[in-house]
Amino acid sequence: MEIAANEPAPRAAPPMGTPLQKEDDGRPSTDENMGRGFQGVIELSVVTPKGAPRGLRYLARGNDARLQLDGQNGHGAFDALIWGENMSVIDNEQHTFRTVPLDQLPVKGTDDDVRVMKTGERRMLQGVLVERYEIDDEPLHVSAWVTGLPGKFSTQKFEQVSGYDVPAWAQHLLDDEKLPLEASARDSSAREVYRLQLLRYAGGPVDDASLALPENYTPAEGSTGAAPPSSAH
């Protein structure tokens, strides 16, 4: 992703934090090793003016991870293990799983007109150093507090496996190994459309069971992928 540092300044967004510090104070920035190699749990919530908040939970340990999304707006809950070059989607109602080899999925270039400006302003958010990015993703303007993504994450492959659409502005950040922890998306009238909130950012050990397939789960009908690690082992 090219960060358009010379783009015109975006529309002003309401302040979302305490007074900020500039990048020249010697601390690391998102262009360096901020948030990389994180192991632990990250919990986020997407809040809209109407409707219940939607939760997202991400657990990371080494090359293994688990991603869980609450169901909403016609989508059921999503639960998947990410291990090696595979994603195993878990159906907790049917006690089944299907594994998709991620290296076999095609990835196309993006052609959207998202404009990203890194402001260089930073603050601490629940003990995490974050930087403010101003993003134009017409018709939305997004003000986001961003840290480093723990590891690589292909939004296009996630969309193909899950059926979920990732907003273009978030896709730009994630594909550039940046993770938004707090954000406000507003329309052309400055009305807030949705807000991303950080609920928990907790580093530390993640137990084996949290990153393993529950016992007695079987491959879904027609599934041909490998079985993920099991909590029974």
Q: pLDDT > 70: what percent of the chain?
A: 79
Which residues make Cβ contacts (< 8 Å) with residue 197, sequence separation at least 6?
A: 44, 45, 46, 47, 53, 182
Cβ atoms within 10 A of the Cβ of 60, count? 22
More confident residue, 59 or 152: 59
Q: Band the pLDDT of 11: cuts 50, 70, 90.
A: very low
More confident residue, 10 or 178: 178
**Tally of structural domains, the chain:** 1
For residues 230 and 58, what is the distance between their CA atoms, to the nearest angstrom?
Answer: 18
- The model's pTM is 0.78
Residue 30 included in any domain: yes
Give me the domain span that covers residue 140: 23-103+111-205
Per-residue pLDDT reduced to its tens digit, 197-226? 999 999 888 998 999 998 889 999 877 778
More confident residue, 51 or 47: 47
Residue 232 included in any domain: no
Helical H segments across 70-229, by residue range: 155-162, 168-175
- CATH number for the domain including 118? 2.50.20
Question: What is the token pair recorded at 172?
Answer: 């730009």
Residue 89 included in any domain: yes
Query: What is the reported pLDDT for 227?
Result: 83
Q: Band the pLDDT of 232: cuts 50, 70, 90.
A: low
Residue 70 included in any domain: yes
Residue 211 included in any domain: no
Which residues make Cβ contacts (< 8 Å) with residue 65, sequence separation at least 6?
A: 58, 59, 81, 82, 83, 150, 151, 211
